[in-house]
Amino acid sequence: MNPDLKAERAGASFDPKALTPHLYGGQARLERFNAVRRLIEEDPVFRVDDYYFASREERYTRAMEKTSRLVQLVKQHNLSEEESIVMRLCIREQLPLGLHWVMFIPAIKGQGTPEQQKKWLPLAQSLRIVGTYAQTEMGHGTFLRGLETTATYDPATKQFVLHMSDHGPHAFIVQIRDLDSHKPLPGVSVGDIGPKLGYDSMDNGFLKLDHVRIPRDQMLMKFAQDPKPSPVWIHVWSPERPDDFAQVSESGAYTRPPNTKLSYGTMIYVRSVMISDAARHLQAATTIAIRYGVVRRQSLLEETASKETQVLDYNSSQQQLFPLLGWAYACHFAGQHLIKMYQDLQASLNRADLSMLEYVHGTTTGLKALVTTIASEGLETCRKACGGHGYSRFSGLPDFYQDYVPACTYEGENNVMKLQCARYLVKCFRQAAKGRNLAPEMSYIGQATKPSHTSKPLNLDGPDAWLHWKIQSRVLEAKACLSLAAAVRELDRQLGSTSKGKAWNNAAEPLSAAALEHSQVVMLRLLEGGIATPSIADTARRALESLRSLLALKLIQAQAPALQLANLLSAMDVQHLSTAVTKLLAVVRRDAVALVDAFDLSDHFLNSALGRYDGQVYEALYAAAQKSTLNATPVTRAVQEHLQPLMKFSRAMLGMPKL
Amino acid sequence: MNPDLKAERAGASFDPKALTPHLYGGQARLERFNAVRRLIEEDPVFRVDDYYFASREERYTRAMEKTSRLVQLVKQHNLSEEESIVMRLCIREQLPLGLHWVMFIPAIKGQGTPEQQKKWLPLAQSLRIVGTYAQTEMGHGTFLRGLETTATYDPATKQFVLHMSDHGPHAFIVQIRDLDSHKPLPGVSVGDIGPKLGYDSMDNGFLKLDHVRIPRDQMLMKFAQDPKPSPVWIHVWSPERPDDFAQVSESGAYTRPPNTKLSYGTMIYVRSVMISDAARHLQAATTIAIRYGVVRRQSLLEETASKETQVLDYNSSQQQLFPLLGWAYACHFAGQHLIKMYQDLQASLNRADLSMLEYVHGTTTGLKALVTTIASEGLETCRKACGGHGYSRFSGLPDFYQDYVPACTYEGENNVMKLQCARYLVKCFRQAAKGRNLAPEMSYIGQATKPSHTSKPLNLDGPDAWLHWKIQSRVLEAKACLSLAAAVRELDRQLGSTSKGKAWNNAAEPLSAAALEHSQVVMLRLLEGGIATPSIADTARRALESLRSLLALKLIQAQAPALQLANLLSAMDVQHLSTAVTKLLAVVRRDAVALVDAFDLSDHFLNSALGRYDGQVYEALYAAAQKSTLNATPVTRAVQEHLQPLMKFSRAMLGMPKL
Ligand SMILES: Cc1cc2nc3c(=O)[nH]c(=O)nc-3n(C[C@H](O)[C@H](O)[C@H](O)COP(=O)(O)OP(=O)(O)OC[C@H]3O[C@@H](n4cnc5c(N)ncnc54)[C@H](O)[C@@H]3O)c2cc1C
Ligand SMILES: Cc1cc2nc3c(=O)[nH]c(=O)nc-3n(C[C@H](O)[C@H](O)[C@H](O)COP(=O)(O)OP(=O)(O)OC[C@H]3O[C@@H](n4cnc5c(N)ncnc54)[C@H](O)[C@@H]3O)c2cc1C
């Protein structure tokens, strides 16, 4: 064990091992998860020592091998659905069958009639068939209404010809490969789209259908049999929803679904998964950067010091890493909360109660954009905080970034998501202005409609007053209201002089800002809610509260001039704020290693020379480098073929002195 | 030609072809560069169609092949030094011999005695030997004084034993490989450090020296022969400078160099190259994102529109891309200016005039941090602006990012650079407070020392008043002063209660912010200076002025609350500012394609399906995908080996209905 890391662990104010179970739903669940994790980590198929040296083809092939082994293990150990999901999460790789599990099967469950489910689900679940989810076209991703692939129903043959329709997007099950040879069927062109920034282990594909015919009952049309459909989980790549519940009769009559919003409920699940994914990535990256930050010593903070400074002691490292650590916890708790919210929503929708729908939909669009942005940018911040060694793939950080960052684009492109959230906020604002009641979570928006001259500064009596959640949440809300009021002002100004579409477009920037501000309020509430879990020991809670305070105060500090200008903070409040932040950095510094240790991510999962639990970073880096494929021979092929002839020619021509 | 792109070109307010020569030093120079470019682009060795499909080994081998061909072409066409540099820049790849040219040779030139230069330069220039630059150790990059490799002089043998010294870093020429076999010599362990986030074509190496002996005259010690050394270009990886000009006599006596700051001059050259590099990358990325932005249509801005909207018409795209286009031009002009500044500095140092040194050094540290941050983050912004297709390597953008982003780390880690710049700024502030004169470029800092209650708002009489450079530069300067004054206030507050080291560390955040603000002032001045080049046609100049105004106003807008709070802007000024920005977005929108066309980057260099001059993006994406190695066979090996057995087993066990 590296002595610096050991000292950090000895000096922490709480025991991370006591916190871990509360992050994963209690001791019993944690133990079950750990047992599953061991199955993976002790199996040679899942070894990670070849991970950084594999070509794309090898990565893909190994990922397929892992997938196949995973399926065997699930069967062999009779694992539950939940355990098999945990198992997949232990494998730090996009699995080529991922879409089969998270999109194809759920789409059949969510949109198929009972007959369709009966036919297709057993085939898919037993892997007798393997499916994907092909919605985006080259020309259309965000704008689903613009999709150009069409399906024409031919009543004579009771078939769809995948070629032409104008009813908006629908979901079909289309066989594209031969069951025996696995070769594409006639009329189907299918292949890999080529290398990407990340996702090397995935063969994301293109698909072209040329008058491909499928039977009528391969259009998913749950609504035909089930007039009051319960909205269900289905993975959707876009803010615009396909008409999941439309139907086409045998004679070819088309029926629109009763309420397209019903399927909104299902997106919440996907978003909760995405937020948990952000959490996992941020946890990994902060674990690596913070452990390395106490092992790495560089430069002298005081000229007279006898030892170089641990880089985590530099204020710039702390300012960058500690808020990200706060976000890692916030995303963790938020992901868990959203699952509950999804279940509540399902229940209320099944009672035909749509009251929650708007809040949940309006808010999760903003959360998706905020969280994926913070996590992806945060991964690069953590990488850079490791200096030159962060650029090595052995640090683990490049791969985390490359595989995570597309989350900013899929499941609703972030610019589009922010604007959707803003639409909801503006609607709330207008309702509040008319004196209507808002969902309880949104009632704070009422402030935004009050005239600004009535505001009074906090006038706190010292830096410590800033440590109270009540104060923090009040200012965070005030800040979001300030931003929303400004956005509405700009929107109204634009509406006064141009068309509706242009006005919204011209006001996009303040509207997007308001969406992010609201999302911050929600995330910080969820963080606070998570910390308040009664079972968490007081020592750990205090450490988490300091982390939350730091994050909240940094967010407030970023808008301090605007808050002061709006007479919500006094100059003295801002001064106290700055003092409180400096104090909190030192408090969080003490527990930084314990706070990442509590995530309990394994060395196998991190696969990082810098983030190892034992802190033996230089040994690990050096050992890993020895395995580089370019070191297989003392002189590379490139040098032999191209450099040596050039040098030898030059020496022969010009002569060579003895060195 | 894509019709949308054609229409954009027809509608531009100026002719990009008339602007291009002024960016590259006139028509004659441009033509020479184009001739060199053709040599590369017409040579099959430099074809780029295999670029995205190659493994790391293949990338490295191909890059070596290209290097070898480049050397032949330079010889064959008798190209000048400048032309051969241009030739290297036409190859969008880190070349394995890059360090030989930009570090090894310059180090000998800069630090070697005349004898050493006479011996080593011809060998290196003719590639009879090939060198690298090995300074950073596993444990030390930023903090050079902490380096652990040592060199002990053994007067008996007149050799250095690379093992132990305490005089600070020095430069040695050490032969590490055998001239014939190219194998490492005894005592030398050398190899590739393994895969990185980018730089696939480079074998960045590790090196271990075990009591390796070299003759005394392989320590570079120019100063021994040349008591008034002229500071020269030498690539250095760190803000802390090696003692380039120290010497060790035959008997082993060590002499310190007269003024370690003399070698500072040389860093400026490196920084100018880095800023030009930022320019080239931003030019490429904005070219791709802006051309794609007019070809890509997605969603309806107005519900009633008959055609989908070009994504460049979305405000969020414009807000993100147009400032980056402004930075691309700013970096371009700044890079050119810094070369001149370097030459002036050289000349003044040769006259033993050190007056420029501090300003140039203090300012370029901040520029390095600002520019590499904006460029690297900007590359990702451009990529995301292309939606899902930006994630494909065929977009060109992933590779630009992966190869560019280490610039934030090497040549002085950015956090460290910002703090160095801040040190200089604080010094200027203190001098100004004492009424001393500052370098003319810094005299604006004087404002920062004035009491804030004396400030008066601009009170502009309308949005158009914001379009004047005088107003913009005045507010940019005021903004930088505001930030510096706040940083000094915080620093002084800290100095009142803690040690010097801790005080600077605790105040790191406002200090770093002040450094960036100052750097913005300098960059915008250089942009304005470049635009003012008399030879540029008025139509093009007007377009560039709008771009500059947009960039300046966006920077000001980001700090509007602070400026208003400080009574430097009135509420009405801020309102006008917002109106001016909206107007400018539309003006820049019209010329966006012309402004990127003027960079004249070739399709060969961009190697981007999305950024093609002809806008045939979907055809190019589809064609490129066909070449994916995973498409070589209709069924991949991974599927055959791992998926098919699983599926077949399952079907055999459970039966398979006819589909
Ligand atoms: C790794 C990865 C995996 C994927 N997997 C799948 C899959 O399995 N199945 C599938 O069907 N799809 C998949 N997708 C596609 C994904 O769903 C789309 O890329 C995504 O929906 C974004 O749409 P787009 O690519 O059309 O972007 P575009 O909408 O073209 O975005 C381009 C630009 O236009 C802007 N823009 C577009 N519309 C608006 C608007 N209304 N207002 C303001 N700005 C706008 C965006 O902000 C962006 O800057 C995947 C994508 C990735 C990156
Ligand atoms: C692609 C690439 C190519 C390279 N090529 C070469 C080469 O050819 N030859 C060579 O010799 N080197 C090379 N380097 C190494 C490079 O010079 C170093 O990585 C760089 O100087 C940063 O130093 P470091 O890695 O020690 O980072 P560290 O200094 O360890 O940085 C780690 C963290 O500590 C912080 N930190 C460190 N000191 C301070 C301080 N005083 N104040 C505040 N914060 C601090 C940093 O901000 C950072 O967050 C290369 C690096 C890369 C990425």
A454 inside 8 A of chain B by CB: no
B477 is catalytic: no
Same structural domain, B424 and B479: yes
Task: Tell if the CB–CB gap between B637 and A61 is shorter than 8 Å.
Answer: yes
Q: Rounded distance, CA B418 to CA B426, Å?
A: 12
Identify the DSSP state of A392: B
Name the range with the highest mean pLDDT among B165-174, B335-344, B564-573, B650-659: B564-573
Distance of residue B220 Cα from the nearest chain A Cα, in angstroms: 16
Q: Which ligand is nearest to the CA of B313?
A: 1
Interface test with B, best of A75, A76, A127, A502 (most B CBs within 10 A): A127
> Is there a contact between B612 and B620 (Cβ–Cβ < 8 Å)?
yes
Identify the DSSP state of A557: H
What CA dihedral angle connects A625, A628, A631 and A633, to 10 degrees? 150
Q: Rounded distance, CA A513 to CA B363, Å?
A: 32
Q: What are phi and psi of A497, to 5 degrees?
A: -130, -5
- Count Cα atoms within 13 angstroms, Cβ side, for B431: 14
A224-264 per-position pLDDT tens digit: 443 333 322 222 223 333 444 567 888 888 776 655 555 56
What is the structure's pLDDT at B151?
Answer: 78
Between helix B264-295 and helix B571-597 the angle, nearest 10°, is: 80
In terms of Cα–Cα distance, which of A232, A223, A216, A227 is closest to A105? A232
In terms of Cα–Cα distance, which of B54, B93, B91 is closest to B627? B54
Burial of B512 (0-12, 13-18, 19+ CB in 10 A): buried
B238 Cβ closer than 6 Å to some ligand 2 atom: yes
> Can you spell out the DSSP letters for A242-293?
P-TT-EE-TT--EE--S-GGGGHHHHHHHHHHHHHHHHHHHHHHHHHHHHHH
> Is there a contact between B594 and B329 (Cβ–Cβ < 8 Å)?
no
Q: Rounded distance, CA B412 to CA B519, Å?
A: 16
Q: Rounded distance, CA A607 to CA A51, Å?
A: 9
What are the structure tokens assigned to A474, written together?
Answer: 């009040």
Same structural domain, B415 and B503: yes
Same structural domain, B272 and B229: no
Model confidence at B429, in pLDDT bands (50, 70, 90)? very high
Residue B118 counted as domain residue:
no
A563-586 per-position pLDDT tens digit: 999 999 999 999 999 999 999 999
CB-CB neighbours of A368 under 10 Å: 27
A415 Cβ closer than 6 Å to some ligand 1 atom: yes
Same structural domain, B210 and B271: no
Residue B240 counted as domain residue:
no
Residue B235 scores a pLDDT above 50: no
Cα–Cα distance list, B631 to A60, A163, B382, B643 (Å): 13, 25, 29, 17
Q: How many domains does chain B have?
A: 2
Mean pLDDT of A327-356: 89
Same structural domain, B150 and B163: yes
Distance of residue B533 Cα from the nearest chain A Cα, in angstroms: 34
What is the structure's pLDDT at B225?
Answer: 40
- The interface residues of chain B toward chain A in range 105-144, judged by CB-CB distance below 8 A, are 119, 122-123, 126-130, 136, 138-143
**Ligand 1 center–CA A412 separation, angstroms:** 7
For ligand 2, atom 49, which residue shows the shortest CA distance?
A385
- The shortest CB-CB distance from A71 to any of B55, B646, B654 is to B646
Same structural domain, B231 and B366: no
Q: What are the start-end ranges of the E strands in B108-196? A: 152-154, 159-162, 188-192
Cβ neighbours for A571, distance < 8 A, ≥ 6 positions apart:
A564
What is the structure's pLDDT at A216?
Answer: 85
Q: Rounded distance, CA B388 to CA A414, Å?
A: 12
What is the structure's pLDDT at B413?
Answer: 96
Same structural domain, B271 and B228: no
Same structural domain, B498 and B619: yes
Q: What percent of chain A has pLDDT over 70?
A: 93
B508-546 per-position pLDDT tens digit: 999 999 999 999 999 999 999 999 988 999 999 999 999
Mean pLDDT of A97-125: 88
What is the structure's pLDDT at A225?
Answer: 40
> Is there a contact between A458 and A568 (Cβ–Cβ < 8 Å)?
yes
Q: Rounded distance, CA B408 to CA A418, Å?
A: 29
Beta-bridged to residue B208, according to DSSP, are B189
Task: Provide the mean pLDDT of chain B.
Answer: 90
Model confidence at B245, in pLDDT bands (50, 70, 90)? low
Between chain A and chain B, how many beta carbons pairs sit less than 8 Å apart? Answer: 357
Residue A81 host element (H or E): helix A81-90
Mean pLDDT of A442-468: 93
What is the structure's pLDDT at B146?
Answer: 81
Burial of A627 (0-12, 13-18, 19+ CB in 10 A): middle
Same structural domain, B448 and B472: yes
Same structural domain, B496 and B581: yes
Domain at A202, CATH number:
2.40.110.10
Cα–Cα distance list, A542 to A453, A591, B478 (Å): 37, 10, 42
Q: Rounded distance, CA B398 to CA A200, Å?
A: 13
Cα–Cα distance list, B9 to A71, B14, B307 (Å): 55, 9, 20
Mean pLDDT of B142-170: 75
Residue A355 counted as domain residue:
no
Q: Report the phi/psi class of residue A204: left, alpha or beta, with left for phi > 0 and alpha for psi in -120 to 50.
A: beta
Task: Tell if the CB–CB gap between A642 and B68 is shorter than 8 Å.
Answer: yes
Model confidence at A169, in pLDDT bands (50, 70, 90)? low
- Determine the structural domain holding residue B55 and report its residue range: 1-47+49-91+262-625
What is the structure's pLDDT at A103?
Answer: 83
Residues in chain B: 659
Strand, helix or coil for residue A206: strand
Q: Rounded distance, CA B412 to CA B373, Å?
A: 13
Distance of residue B94 Cα from the nearest chain A Cα, in angstroms: 15
> Is there a contact between A53 and A102 (Cβ–Cβ < 8 Å)?
no
**Ligand 1 center–CA B387 separation, angstroms:** 5
Burial of A146 (0-12, 13-18, 19+ CB in 10 A): middle
Let me know the angle formed at the C-alpha of A235 by A233 and A239, rounded to the nearest 5 degrees: 110
**Ligand 2 center–CA B235 separation, angstroms:** 15
B172 inside 8 A of chain A by CB: no
Residue A191 scores a pLDDT above 60: yes
In terms of Cα–Cα distance, which of A555, A491, A572, A545 is closest to A521? A555
Q: Rounded distance, CA A656 to CA B129, Å?
A: 9
What is the structure's pLDDT at B119?
Answer: 93
Beta-bridged to residue B177, according to DSSP, are B184
Domain at B597, CATH number:
1.20.140.10
Q: Which ligand is nearest to the CA of B200?
A: 2
What is the structure's pLDDT at A161?
Answer: 82
What is the structure's pLDDT at B247?
Answer: 76
> Is there a contact between A557 and A577 (Cβ–Cβ < 8 Å)?
yes
Q: What percent of chain A has pLDDT over 90?
A: 71
A611-620 per-position pLDDT tens digit: 999 999 999 9
Residue B325 scores a pLDDT above 80: yes
What is the structure's pLDDT at A257?
Answer: 60
**Ligand 2 center–CA B412 separation, angstroms:** 7
Residue B96 counted as domain residue:
no
Between helix B538-558 and helix B469-495 the angle, nearest 10°, is: 30
For ligand 2, atom 34, which residue shows the shortest CA distance?
A311
Task: Tell if the CB–CB gap between B625 and A136 is shorter than 8 Å.
Answer: no
Model confidence at B227, in pLDDT bands (50, 70, 90)? very low
Residue A34 counted as domain residue:
no
Strands A247-248 and A188-192: unpaired
Distance of residue B461 Cα from the nearest chain A Cα, in angstroms: 19
Mean pLDDT of A485-493: 97
Strand, helix or coil for residue B130: coil
Beta-bridged to residue B247, according to DSSP, are B255
Task: Tell if the CB–CB gap between A56 and B55 is shorter than 8 Å.
Answer: yes
Burial of A431 (0-12, 13-18, 19+ CB in 10 A): middle
Where are the alpha helices (H) located in A566-630, listed in sequence order?
571-597, 603-606, 617-626
Distance of CA A477 to the CA centre of its chain: 24
Residue B634 counted as domain residue:
no
What is the structure's pLDDT at B163?
Answer: 54
A230 inside 8 A of chain B by CB: no
> Can you spell out the DSSP letters for A629-642?
GGGSSSS-HHIIII
Q: Rounded distance, CA B255 to CA A615, Å?
A: 40
B53-109 per-position pLDDT tens digit: 999 999 999 999 999 999 999 999 999 999 999 999 999 989 999 989 988 888 888
A3-42 per-position pLDDT tens digit: 999 999 999 999 999 999 999 999 999 999 999 999 999 9
Is ipTM beyond 0.85? yes
- The interface residues of chain B toward chain A in range 308-367, judged by CB-CB distance below 8 A, are 308, 313-317, 319
Task: Tell if the CB–CB gap between B654 and A126 is shorter than 8 Å.
Answer: yes
Buried b / exposed e over A296-335, threshold 16 CB at 10 Å, is bbbbbbeeeeeebbbbbbbbbbbbbbbbbbbbbbbbbbbb
* Atom nearest to A391 CA in ligand 2: 53
Check residues B74 and B258 and name the one with the higher pLDDT.
B74
Same structural domain, B279 and B358: yes
Identify the DSSP state of B381: H
Write down the catalytic residue from A8, A93, A240, A411.
A411
> Is there a contact between A230 and A201 (Cβ–Cβ < 8 Å)?
no
Same structural domain, B621 and B504: yes
Residue B169 scores a pLDDT above 90: no
Buried b / exposed e over B110-136, threshold 16 CB at 10 Å, is bbbbeebbebbeebbebbbbbbbbbbb
Q: What percent of chain B has pLDDT over 90?
A: 71
Residue B570 counted as domain residue:
yes
Q: Which ligand is nearest to the CA of B290?
A: 1
* Atom nearest to A317 CA in ligand 2: 49
Residue A18 host element (H or E): helix A16-23
Residues in chain A: 659
